[in-house]
Amino acid sequence: MTIKRALISVSDKTGVVEFAKGLHELGVEIVSTGGTLKTIAAAGIPVIPVSEVTGFPEMMDGRVKTLHPKIHGGILAIRDNPEHVKAMKEHGITGIDLVAVNLYPFRETIACPDVTLAEAIENIDIGGPSMVRAAAKNYKYVTIVVDPKQYDEILERIKTDTLTEEFRLDLSRKAFLHTGLYDCAIADYLTRQVTGDEGQMPDVYCKAYTKLQDLRYGENPHQKAAFYRDPEAKGGIAFARQLHGKALSYNNIVDMEAAWNLAHEWSDRPSCVIVKHTNPCGTALGDTPLEAFQRAFEADSKSAFGGIVAFNRELDGETAAAMKPIFFEVVMAPKISQEALDILGTKKNIRLMEVPEVETEELQLRKVSGGLLVQTPDDSSETRADCKVVTDRAPTEEEWQAMEFAWKVVKHVKSNAIILTGKDVTYGIGAGQMNRVGSADIAIAEAGDKCKGAALASDAFFPFGDTVEAAGKAGITCVIQPGGSIRDQESIDMANKYGITMVFTGHRHFRHC
């Protein structure tokens, strides 16, 4: 394929001068617009203004410059169609063989916290997507380039005459993905402007994700998998920086999300969470990350083996030294000190991840056959003021602290969830059983003697009094649960029988996936 004329109009000017120079040296005539024209001309590279091609000046603050038959005819013409060739000659249209375009920085604009709607609208590109789509549609005759990273490859293929139709089809695919992502970002932003922050669900859910990497496999070796990132997000697991270790697996990433979310329930004290199969097996607060880790590990050292560990503070050398003898799959923190990296970096199979904080929670998605479930995140954070004491005995200060801690943990445990804690450490966790008393039996057996004086949290109400009875027999002294069962009084009476203080939060925290 011979490239005689190229149109270059880019917002991201990375490498554009070198690309234009390379095209010029290959004898390609260059047409350009606005700031791109100035950048290329300033480098001493011959370039034709688009206004010279169209016979019209760029107008309306640059809104109208390439929307013209002499541009789009040059891009869309089928070169071996006699009628198209005839029309080009009759109307003085010169073919455009290569289009290098990327779009106005809409995502970057709306990422600014104080951006106005008017500013966002002004950064919606019109001419750019039109040229990209036209060139991509006509890939048999036109080369479309939207990614500056491909400039060098394009130049090399022109030199070696290897701009094959197969390669141009792949460029077309990338171009439509480029405009598709762009349109999704606009639609998502405008939807949020209309619905506001009131939790309204859009009538059409429009979101696009870009692939970060292929994974070796999914939950099981026979399943294919890949990891994608939301281009509009700014933090979270998809933006984690791996400092050491082999590639993450699908299950690692799922567990990392669970551990990270729970670890960041607290900001006032260092926390440590150890997760296995998306459920916390140990969670604790401490005065230091070391203390939080030691207490979380001791909560269930057997289950912690091979777990995922998350901190809400920097991982320091002292904590890393305490972790070194133990096998963990992944260790995450907002920052990992060089000393900690030096210590844990000697372990071949551990993955060390720095994870940037998430500024805002996005909608949560779950695929079902033939559709998609979308919900807002479970970010409800009940306090003492939201709770109602329903038993004869009111909680002590220490019991309040234990229940507050337990309530934050239980919403991160698979339902049916029953957990036992002290005021800042877990003792026993019963997750995902088909009946609530079954989860309680597991948590009580795991906690053992620590049950005496412990707090019990349930993610949903008790349908019968049996769970409270099991708690009373084990020596548990305080219970926090949503309430709302038609048999609440049965549970209240059972709590009074054993001298347990019980509070209702009025909020349920089911976690099914």
Q: Which residues are catalytic?
A: 137, 277
CA 277/CA 300 separation, integer angstroms: 14
Token digits of residue 338: 């060089």
Cα separations in angstroms, 161 against 2, 88, 103, 306, 385? 8, 25, 28, 53, 73
Buried b (16+ CB within 10 A) or exposed e, 39-76: bbeeeebebebbeebbeeebeeeeeebbebebbbbbbb
Provide the pairing of β-strand 98-102 with 143-145. parallel
Query: Residue 25 corresponds to which tokens in the numbers above?
Result: 């040296």
Q: Quick count: other Cβ atoms within 10 Å of Cβ 197?
A: 7
Is the four-CA dihedral 446, 442, 284, 505 of positive or negative sign? negative
Distance of CA 389 to CAs 386, 437, 501, Å? Answer: 10, 22, 8
Residue indicated by tokens 């707090």: 455
CB 128 within 8 A of CB 105: no
Distance CA 357, CA 259 (A): 13
Describe the strand order of the beta sheet including 241-244 as a list of residue ranges.
241-244, 351-354, 328-333, 307-311, 271-276, 279-285
How far is Cα 22 from Cα 45, in angstroms, rounded to an integer?
10
Classify residue 356 by burial, with Cβ atoms within 10 Å: 0-12, 13-18, 19+: middle
Contacts (Cβ under 8 Å, ≥6 apart) of 132 = 99, 101, 103, 144, 146, 175, 178, 179
Tokens of 103: 């779009």
Q: What pairing do the DSSP bridges indicate for beta strands 478-481 and 455-458?
A: parallel
User: Which amino acid makes up residue 297?
Assistant: F
* Angstrom distance (rounded) from CA 183 to CA 103: 11
DSSP 220-238: STTS-EEEEE-TT--SSGG
Q: CA 172, CA 511: separation in Å to the nearest integer?
A: 42
Q: How far apart are CA 71 and CA 51, in angstroms?
A: 10
